[in-house]
Amino acid sequence: MDVKIKRYSDRLNIRGFDSWEAVLISDNYEEVDKALSKLKKLLSKKDRIIEILDDSKEKSGVFYVLIRLMLNKALSNELSQKAIVLKILQETISIIANCCFFSMTACMCLTKTAPNIISIFDKLLNLPQKGDSVKAGILRLIGNLLETKKAFPTITSNLPFMEKLASFINSGEVKLQRNSIRTFKILCKNGISKRIIDCNAVAELASLIISDKFDLYGDDILFMLSFLARTVPKDTGRQLATPECSNFLFNILLEQKSEEYKYEKWIEPICSFLNRSYEIRESIGRAGLTKLILEGKNCISFLKILTFFAQDAWGRVTLRENGGLDIIIENLLCSESINEKILLIQSLKNLIHDTVGISYLCQSQKFFETVLIHVNSYIKTNPLDCKLELKDKSENIIQKDSSPFHTINANNALLNNFYNQVYTRSGYLISNRASRSPSGHSRSNSLSPTRSVFSSPERDILDFEFEEGDEIMEMQENKDSLQQQNNEQMVVFGEFFLMSWQSHDENNHKYLVRNEIIEMWVNYLSINLPCDPKAGRAMKRLARSCNIISNLLKLKFHILILNVLIRRSCMMHLLAKECKHCTKIHRYGKDLYRDFSEHVDTDYGWSYILIDLKQSNDDLKINAMIASVALIRTVKRRRNYFETYKPIKKLVEKCKVILLNQENFDMVNSLGEPNKEILFQIMISFGTLISKNTFDKLFFIDDIYKECNDLIDSGEISKESNCCNVPVSQKEGIEYICFENSTMSECIIIEKDILCKNCIFYQAMFSSSFIEAQNRKFKFNFNEVISEMVSWEDFKIFIHYCSGCTVENCLVIKTPQTYVSLIYLADYFSYEFLTNKLIQFGDTLQRMFSGRDLKYIIPLVRQCPHIFSKLSVFFFINFLCYTEKEHMFEILNSLINNPELTEEFFKELEKFLSITFSTSSLTRGLLI
């Protein structure tokens, strides 16, 4: 063989290309046929083809001769008359196809040398049946040309020719069919999807799929459909949507009942077509879907297929009528795959286009059980990590010493202290909600218009057009990032999306307003409102619904908003730093509370409260009074109600009964509510009565400023050096008073004159006929009386204050207990200046006492009632508005089984409320 190739090669080199040209273009068909046979053997190797094509002679090489020969014979009149001419053309096309298969240069030469090559191909493809071999060669040549990306635009740009190629997919001749399928496989390989669709090649494939040749070409068809499913599934599905093909592919899906399935690779493209093409779904029809629901539950792709049909109106109806929707809901609850849950939620979202379907979903108990499980699990695993942080002293304009009484410069200190009070009081103040019309670009608070005249016209916390642009982008980026990172959150988002759409129909509200659903909804908003504003708008829609006012009142919706959305744990302090996340939730909670209040505070809403007020059940009356105190704001209605029913007095009496003993405190009332919860609800409803307008008058800023100046002018406050005036040992000629702790074997001494100057108690003792003055008793035992009031360490701090000590470490007050002990000692020993400084409303007092520390002030109610009355404003504002539930219970627990203390406590509370609350003006609560 090598000898022959060498001989042909030598002959070729000796005779040159001109000899070949002379033979191939001669009229001796037998010589031409023999030469082509020899040349076909010669050009069967890639290296030989490349050698010929790289020849420097232009249009004189063998390849160009072959192209000329093909063109001549294709246009010859003898083509259909002489078999030898047909054979020559066949061999020529075969050789050219070989060259184009191995060399891109050959492809480019062919397209450039013969610009009308497509018309030649088209003519040859129209030859009668005896020219099938030529057609097969042409199809093979076209396939090889399409392997070259620079050459295939010549073919693909001719749509009629592409349709001609597609027509051979179902040819009865095997070679024609095989080469045609190969051609379109190459197009798929090169990413040409649009032309495949345009030339209706997929329709031809649909006919091939249902033919008896499916098994023969199954892999080739799968390759093409897989590519088309990724690129143009909708258009592909349209051409596959013949009844026979659609049902054939659908049956492939239904037969998938095990992982060892021979059509496993077909599942993905078929599902893609079903998902994206409504034509193929309609071709399957209601009969096919019904059959799937009733008989296809063992199919692995069963749920996925159901979700596809939920996109069509008739599909949703069929699913609902035949139990398919219930199957989706059941699997949403049972599924352990997050991706499958997302798919099922996505299918349920299509029900927003189906009023009956969304109502059916709203009435489904299983759906809400599923939502409750998912959302409660999400809330439990994603708690809001917000901690209470206090403002720095630098944020309060001035920096003060750790002791509120130590001053370096008396004048500046008092003036700065005054300004500090003005500043820190702003922690109480809530900015007015301007009664103005919304700006032109503002949106309504919900997607559906409200019918109430009390609807707030002001900006909504959920209308993000009012936010800064950078904040919008940052929030949106954070939202997108969370959706990508947390698939569980995407499931929850989808479920609230559905409930949001359900809330648009007032007929659905009665199904949404259930105790466990509303509580879950509010708890979800308390952690995720900025990321899911749609859920917040839906809740506002419910709060404004007149049809469910009575339901929301029974659920104590107002208490839930107050406790969860408004009273944020990281904001439960007068000097709390602003938490960006919780501030938005707090503002939303106030808007939601106000919307609900304005709808209850109408003749229609008020009628429901009156019904409960007239009930014989005292527990119903108490709940109605709590709601009325928290929600009624209309001046006329509030005045008449408070004068007629006296709710504050009755609620206070209820509190006294509950605190009478531990049994009452732990008891559950006739409505199944614990008494201590009723007590908490009463307290926070009282907190809504503290109005901003009256709050400005409580601290008498001008009087404080005047008092400070009077102290400066009178010389009671003078510039002091930084020294400790408590002596370590006694000096001769000076009288000292000694306080001895026999238990700890310690003592502390102070000059008698200094102690008598500051404490009226000792001044009177040593300037009268008391036995101590007569016997000159200068030594007192701490353990006899004083130890019952305060600790030894707190007493030593008090002595340092009495001595005029200015050393910071001696005067520092570290705990609220110490602070209260100093108040008690200062009052007991009549050190008025220290008493006034301790109870002065300033930075130190605010920092020292939060809701959890108010329990230390409670003993002052009985021990020092005149002192507590001065602190009552500060105490009750903190107690009612800035104390969390557990700390409030801790304070109230100290009143149990102590009727006298309870009586005094609530007497002060009623007095405080009478000062801060007025029925003659329309005011909103401090937190509202």
> What is d(CA 141, CA 165) in angstroms, rounded to the nearest whole number?
12
Say which residues have a Cβ less than 8 Å from residue 797's Cβ, sequence separation at least 6.
Answer: 810, 811, 813, 818, 822
Single pTM value for the model: 0.77
113-141 pLDDT per residue, tens:
777 888 888 888 888 888 888 889 999 99
What's the token pair of residue 258?
């095990």
**Residue 103 to residues 114, 135, 152, 805, Cα–Cα distance (Å):** 17, 22, 14, 103
Give the closest residue to 523 by CA, choosing from 365, 679, 377. 377
Mean pLDDT confidence for 890-906: 93
> In the prediction, which pLDDT does 394 show?
61
- Indicate if the pLDDT at residue 313 is higher than 80: yes
Which tokens hold the place of 244?
A: 């026979």
Residue 662 has pLDDT above 90, yes or no: yes
Q: How confident is the model at residue 807 (pLDDT cuts 50, 70, 90)?
A: confident
User: For the chain, which residues make up each domain, given as ranges?
Assistant: 1-111, 116-199, 206-322
Structure tokens at 352: 């927003």
Q: What is the distance between the alpha carbons of residues 822 and 838, in angstroms, rounded to a whole number?
A: 8
Residue type, 32: V
- d(CA 561, CA 752) in angstroms, rounded, equals 59
Q: What is the average per-residue pLDDT within 322-336?
A: 92
Give the side-chain half-sphere CA count within 13 A for 432: 6
Mean pLDDT, rounded, for 602-623: 93
Q: Report residue 114 as tokens.
A: 């013969």
pLDDT above 50 for 879 = yes
Contact yes or no for 772/765 (Cβ under 8 A):
yes
Q: Which of 148, 149, 183 is nearest to 165 (CA)?
A: 183
pLDDT in tens, 332-368: 999 888 889 999 999 999 999 888 999 999 999 999 9
How much is the average pLDDT of 870-882? 89
- Say yes or no to pLDDT of 397 above 50: no
**Residue 462, pLDDT above cutoff 70:** no
What integer pLDDT is reported at residue 374 of this predicted model? 93
Which 3-state string (H, E, C) describes 740-766?
EECCCCEEEEEEHHHHHHHCHHHHHHC
Of 333, 331, 338, the residue nearest 301 (C-alpha): 331
Indicate the range of 116-120, 512-516, 553-557, 618-622 predicted with least confidence: 116-120
For the segment 310-317, the average pLDDT, to the nearest whole number, is 93
Indicate the Cα dihedral angle 450, 453, 455, 459, nearest 10°: 110
As beta bridge partners, residue 691 has 925
Mean pLDDT lowest among 143-157, 500-514, 601-615? 143-157
Q: What percent of the chain has pLDDT over 70?
A: 81
Indicate whether 399 pLDDT > 50.
no
Least confident range from 95-104, 245-254, 406-415, 608-617: namely 406-415
Q: What is the dihedral of CA 108, 111, 112, 115, to 10 degrees?
A: -170
Q: Where are the beta strands (DSSP E) in 570-721?
A: none
| pLDDT at residue 665 greater than cutoff 50 | yes
Q: What pLDDT, in 10s, does the model give residues 189-233?
A: 988 899 999 999 999 999 999 999 998 999 999 999 999 999 999
Burial (CB count <10 Å: 0-12, 13-18, 19+), residue 769: exposed
Instruction: Give the residue carrying structure tokens 């704001």.
Output: 633
Residues ≥6 apart with Cβ < 8 Å to 748:
726, 738, 739, 795, 796, 799
Which range is least confidently modeled, 108-112, 720-724, 785-789? 720-724
H or E segment and range at residue 736: strand 736-741
The mean pLDDT value for 321-337 works out to 91
How far apart CA 401 and CA 831 sit, in angstroms, is 21
Lookup: tokens for 27: 């009229």
Residue of 539, 520, 529 lying closest to 582 (CA atoms): 529
- The mean pLDDT of the chain is 80
d(CA 347, CA 366): 16
The H or E element containing residue 501 is helix 487-502
- In residues, how long is the chain? 928
Sign of the C-alpha dihedral, residues 169, 173, 176, 182?
positive
Place of tokens 């709940």: 623
At residue 880, the 3 state secondary structure works out as helix
Residue 415, pLDDT > 90, answer: no
Q: In this predicted model, what pLDDT tens digit does every residue of 479-496 receive, in sequence order?
A: 555 544 468 888 999 999
**555 pLDDT exceeds 90?**
yes
Question: How many other CB atoms are there within 10 angstroms of residue 44's CB atom?
Answer: 13
Residue 393 or residue 810, greater confidence: 810
| DSSP letter, residue 674 | B
- Long-range contacts: 851-855, Cβ < 8 Å, 24+? 851/572, 851/573, 851/878, 851/879, 851/882, 851/883, 851/884, 851/887, 851/888, 852/883, 852/884, 852/887, 852/890, 853/816, 854/878, 854/879, 854/883, 854/887, 854/891, 855/887, 855/890, 855/891, 855/894
Q: What is the pLDDT of residue 830?
A: 84
What is the mean predicted confidence (pLDDT) over 232-251?
93
Stretch among 46-55, 115-124, 323-332, 589-598 having the lowest mean pLDDT = 46-55
Of the listed ranges 4-18, 67-81, 640-654, 763-777, the one predicted with least confidence: 4-18
User: Sorting pLDDT into bands at 50, 70 and 90, what band is 431?
Assistant: very low
Three-state SS for 203? helix
> In 3-state terms, the chain is what percent helix, strand and coil (to 5)?
70, 0, 30
Instruction: Quickly list DSSP for 179-194.
Output: HHHHHHHHHHHTT--H
Mean pLDDT, residues 791-810: 85
Q: CA 728 to CA 722: how far, in whole Å?
A: 17
Using CA atoms, how far apart are residues 605 and 596, in angstroms rounded to an integer?
10
User: For 570-579, how does the pLDDT look when each residue is reduced to its tens digit (9 = 90+)?
Assistant: 888 888 888 8
When pLDDT is averaged across residues 446-464 and rounded to a whole number, the result is: 38
pLDDT band at 925 (very low <50, low <70, confident <90, very high): low
Q: What is the DSSP string of 33-54?
A: HHHHHHHHHHTTSHHHHHHHHT
**64 confidence band (pLDDT: 50, 70, 90):** confident
3-class secondary structure, 370? helix
pLDDT at 750 over 80: yes
